[in-house]
Chains A and B, each alone.
Chain A
Amino acid sequence: GAVVSQHPSRVICKSGTSVKIECRSLDFQATTMFWYRQFPKQSLMLMATSNEGSKATYEQGVEKDKFLINHASLTLSTLTVTSAHPEDSSFYICSASTSGVGTQYFGPGTRLLVL
C-alpha cells in the first residue's frame, strides 16, 4: 500500500515552454502533498505544501507564479513549471500524506531537462 506515482518520469522541453508534472496517490487519499526539488548529490528542497482544495503554501524563495501547484482532488496534485529555463532543470519529487504531519510517501520523481 501507500503508492505514489509521478508522471512523466522524464521530460525534455525547450526553454520558454511550460511543463506539467502529475503526482497521484494510488491507494490512499492524500490530504497533503509536498513538492520537492533535488539537485544532483544534494538534499531534497521543499518547494511547497499543498492541501486538497486550498492554495499551496510555498517555501521562501520559491516563485509561486513560476511553479503553479494545483491539488484538485485527494489523489492528484500537479506542478506546472511555467516558462521553463535551463536553470529549472532538476529532479522534482512529490510526496503524499494523509495529514500534514504524518508519514510521507514519495513518488519516484520526475527528471526535467530544459534545453
Chain B
Amino acid sequence: GQQVMQIPQYQHVQEGEDFTTYCNSSTTLSNIQWYKQRPGGHPVFLIQLVKSGEVKKQKRLTFQFGEAKKNSSLHITATQTTDVGTYFCAGRSNYQLIWGAGTKLIIKP
C-alpha cells in the first residue's frame, strides 16, 4: 500500500543547533502537509506544499517539496526550546492523507 516514511524517529539536538526531518513517499503526492504536535497537545497544521520543487519559509522553518513530489523536508535553523515536539508530514495521494510516523525533536538539557 501507499506509505510515507519519515526519518529520523527521534533527533536530539543542543539548543541552537539545526534540525531536519525527511519524508519519502512510495507514490507521487498531490500535496504534502506538515504538522507539529507539542507534548501532550494535538497536532497543529504548519504548512501545505503543492508545487514541484516548492520551498516555503516560516521564520526559522524551511519546508521543501521535491521535484518528483515524492519527498519533502522540514529544516529548523537554530532550534529553541519552543520547537520541542513531534513533527508530522502527511501526504495527499488519491484523496487519502497518508501520515508519516513523526520525528520527535528533543532539546538536550
Task: Pick out which of these stretches binds chain B: A63-71, A75-83, A100-108.
Answer: A100-108
A104-B45 CB under 8 A given contacts A34-B97, A43-B100, A43-B102: yes
| Interface SS of chain A | loop
CB neighbors of A among B55-109 (8 A): 88, 92, 95-97, 99-102
Closest to A42 in B: B101
Cβ of B24 within 8 Å of any chain A Cβ, yes or no, is: no
0 or 1 for each of B18-44: is its CB under 8 Å from A? (1 = yes): 000000000000110101000001111
Interface size on A, residues (CB 8 A): 16
**CA A108 – CA B95 in complex, angstroms?**
24
Tell me how far the C-beta of B88 lies from the nearest C-beta in chain A, rounded to whole angstroms: 6
Contact at A106–B101, with CB atoms within 8 Å? no
Contacts of A101 in B (CB 8 A): 30-31, 92, 95
> How far does the alpha carbon of A104 sit from the alpha carbon of B91 in the complex, in Å?
12
- Which of A93, A101, A105, A107 has the most chain B CB atoms closer than 10 A to its own CB? A101
Contact A107 B42 (CB under 8 A): yes
What is the interface residue range for chain B against chain A?
A: 10 to 19
Q: Could you give, for residues 76-115 of chain A, a 1 whenever the CB lies within 8 Å of some chain B CB and a 0 otherwise?
A: 0000000000000000010000001101111111000000
Complex contacts, B101 vs chain A, CB 8 Å:
42-43
Cβ-based interface call for A44 (8 A): yes
A43 to B37, CA, bound (A): 10
Say yes or no for A46: interface residue by CB 8 A criterion: yes
Chain A nearest CB, measured from B22 CB (Å): 15
A93 touches which of B31, B43, B92, B95 (Cβ 8 Å): B43
How many Å from the CB of A60 to the closest CB on chain B?
Answer: 8
Supply 12 A–B pairs (Cβ within 8 Å), ascending by A. A43-B102, A44-B99, A45-B99, A46-B97, A93-B43, A100-B95, A101-B92, A101-B95, A104-B45, A104-B97, A106-B35, A109-B42
Identify the B interface with A (CB < 8 A).
30-31, 33, 35, 41-45, 48, 88, 92, 95-97, 99-102
Q: Which A residues are closer than 8 A to B by beta carbons?
A: 34, 42-46, 93, 100-101, 103-109
